[in-house]
Amino acid sequence: MVVDSRFAKVNGLDMHFVSSGTGRPVLLLHGFPDTHAIWRHQIPALAAAGLQVISPDLRGYGRTDAPSDIAAYSINFLADDVLRLMDALGIEKASLVGHDWGGLIGWHLAMHAPDRFDRYAALSTGHPAAIAQAGISQHLRFWYVMVFKTPVLAEQLLRANDWFVLRQMIKDPEQQEIWRIPLEPEGRLTAALNYYRANFKTTAPRRWKPVDIPVMGVWSDQDPALGEKQMADSVRHCRAGFRFEQLSGADHWMQLSATQRLNALLVDFLTGQGR
């Protein structure tokens, strides 16, 4: 299966994305500290299922431009980048898959631009209101957020001892390098951390709305950052149906640790065979 690498001008930025396949479009949105490459095992499977798969490097990541202003990473801008990429590619409506920060962007799009999407697969990250209401255990899981929000300290910590912290996040040496190489250039690690610095204080509850497109939430039981409750309780915020799926023995990066099971769920949901 051929995978094309291209650029589009999006909100004044050069946005890099890869695409493969033909058919109904589906966008795959990555999180921290990933690029489009985290989807390398999903792209061919979804393209083979008859979908046009588009996976961008979100702003600040990979080969996409990285604005220097922290405010440029507000979720409003991140979500609008996705809509403007769709416009640049002539896509009126698409399916959506988001993981980690890409998951939060996906929820934002499902809430505020439901006319542009027909269904949404949320991986790891539940509806923001469900996360906020998930209790003390979930908030304790987010201990690292305060570290990531601290300028200079977070950069020094993550780079220390040859990216020791990053290497502890996943044991796969290939993925460690896929993370490290694009984060090495000046300003790139800061851009990735700016997602945390720009949003936790601005994504106010008044922006959280119910979702009126079908949603599938996929949660992995070895995820240290996001618990089951925040995903399962997302059903309360999905008025067009919510399908909950659990991947046992998989970690946060289920794209790698549960590849075949995740691919089967995505193909089933995105091709309309399962709701």
DSSP code of 238? B
Distances (CA, A) of 228 to 64, 137, 220, 241: 33, 11, 8, 18
**Predicted structure pTM score:** 0.97
**DSSP code at position 25:** E
Decide if pLDDT at 202 tops 50: no
- Classify residue 268 by burial, with Cβ atoms within 10 Å: 0-12, 13-18, 19+: middle
- Tell me what pLDDT residue 162 has: 95
- Is 113 a domain residue? yes
Residue type at 8? A
Residue 146 maps to a domain? yes
With the CA atoms of 142, 120, 243 and 52 taken in that order, what torsion angle do they form, in degrees rounded to the nearest 10? -120
Phi, psi dihedral angles at 248 (to 5 degrees) = -75, 140
pLDDT at 95 over 50: yes
pLDDT above 70 coverage of the chain, percent:
96
275, part of any domain: no
CA 47 to chain CA centroid, nearest Å: 19
Strands 4-10 and 13-20, bridge-based pairing: antiparallel
Integer angstrom CA distances of residue 204 from 32, 137, 227, 250: 21, 21, 21, 31
Give the domain range for residue 253: 4-270
Domain-located, residue 262:
yes
DSSP line for 77-105: HHHHHHHHHHHHTT-S-EEEEEETHHHHH
Q: Tens digit of pLDDT for each residue in 67-85?
A: 999 999 999 999 999 999 9
Q: Is residue 205 situated within a structural domain?
A: yes
Residue 2 pLDDT grade (very low, low, confident, very high; cuts 50, 70, 90): confident
Residue 102: inside a domain? yes
pLDDT beyond 90 at 30: yes
Task: Determine the Cα–Cα distance for residues 151 and 147; give it in Å rounded to an integer.
Answer: 9
The pLDDT tens digits for 107-124 are 999 999 999 999 999 999
pLDDT for position 186 = 95
List 54's β-bridge partners, or say none.
Answer: 19, 27
Outline where DSSP puts E strands in 100-201.
117-123
Question: For position 35, what pLDDT does the model report?
Answer: 98
Task: Kindly tell me if the per-residue pLDDT of 164 is higher than 80.
Answer: yes
Residue 191 belongs to a domain: yes
**Band of pLDDT at residue 231, cut at 50, 70 and 90:** very high
Domain annotation covers residue 123: yes
List all residues 6 or more positions away from 22 whose beta carbon is below 8 Å from its beta carbon: 50, 52
* CB-CB neighbours of 93 under 10 Å: 11
The pLDDT of residue 99 is 98
Lowest mean pLDDT among 13-22, 24-33, 194-203: 194-203
Check which CATH number belongs to the domain holding 163 and give it: 3.40.50.1820
Each residue of 176-185: pLDDT tens digit? 999 999 999 9
Number of domains in the chain: 1
Average pLDDT over every residue of 186-212: 86
What is the chain's mean pLDDT, rounded?
95
The residue-averaged pLDDT of 236-258 equals 98
What's the rounded Cα separation, in Å, for the pair 33 and 29? 12
